[in-house]
Amino acid sequence: MITASPGARLTRPETSTASDWRQLWRDAVTDAGELLALLGLESLAERLPPADAGFALRVPRGFVARMRPGDSRDPLLLQVLPQLAELDDIPGFVTDAVGDMASRAAQGVLHKYHGRALLIASGSCAINCRYCFRRHFPYGEEMAAAGQWRQALEHLRQDSSISELILSGGDPLSLATSKLEELSRGLAELPHVTRLRIHTRLPVVLPERIDAAFLSWLDALPLQKVVVLHANHANEIDASVVAACSRLRDAGATVLNQSVLLRGINDDAGTLAELSERLFTAGVLPYYLHQLDRVQGTAHFEVEDARAQALMDTLRTRLPGYLVPRLVREVGGDLSKRPL
Q: Closest approach of Cβ 141 to ligand SF4, in Å? A: 17
By the 8 A CB rule, do 201 and 13 touch?
no
For 302, which DSSP code?
-
Cis-peptide into 170, omega within 30 deg: yes
Is 203 an interacting residue with respect to ligand SF4 (CB under 6 A)? no
Span 128-167, contacts to ligand SF4 by CB under 6 A: 128-129, 132, 134
Q: Closest approach of Cβ 214 to ligand SF4, in Å? A: 17
Is 52 an interacting residue with respect to ligand SF4 (CB under 6 A)? no
By the 8 A CB rule, do 302 and 131 touch?
no
Q: Closest approach of Cβ 40 to ligand SF4, in Å? A: 25
Q: Closest approach of Cβ 121 to ligand SF4, in Å? A: 11
Is 201 an interacting residue with respect to ligand SF4 (CB under 6 A)? yes
Q: Closest approach of Cβ 60 to ligand SF4, in Å? A: 11
Total interface residues for ligand SF4 by CB under 6 A: 11
Residue 323, Cβ neighbours under 10 Å: how many?
18
By the 8 A CB rule, do 203 and 244 touch?
yes
Q: Which is nearer to ligand SF4, 209 or 269 (CB)?
A: 209
Is 244 an interacting residue with respect to ligand SF4 (CB under 6 A)? no
By the 8 A CB rule, do 309 and 340 touch?
yes
Nearest to 100 by CA among 152, 144, 138: 138
Is 171 an interacting residue with respect to ligand SF4 (CB under 6 A)? yes
By the 8 A CB rule, do 275 and 248 touch?
no
Q: Which is nearer to ligand SF4, 133 or 220 (CB)?
A: 133
Q: Which residues pair with 254 in a beta bridge?
A: 226
Among residues 170, 203, 207, 297, the one that binds ligand SF4 under rule CB under 6 A: 170
Which stretch, 122-130, 248-256, 283-291, 330-338, contacts ligand SF4 (CB under 6 A)?
122-130
Q: Which is nearer to ligand SF4, 127 or 251 (CB)?
A: 127
Residue 86, Cβ neighbours under 10 Å: how many?
20
Q: Closest approach of Cβ 173 to ligand SF4, in Å? A: 10
Strand ranges (DSSP E) for 67-139? 104-106, 109-110, 116-120
Length of the chain: 340
For 47, which DSSP code?
G
Q: Closest approach of Cβ 98 to ligand SF4, in Å? A: 12
Which residues of this protein are in contact with ligand SF4, per CB under 6 A? 125, 127-129, 132, 134, 169-171, 201, 230
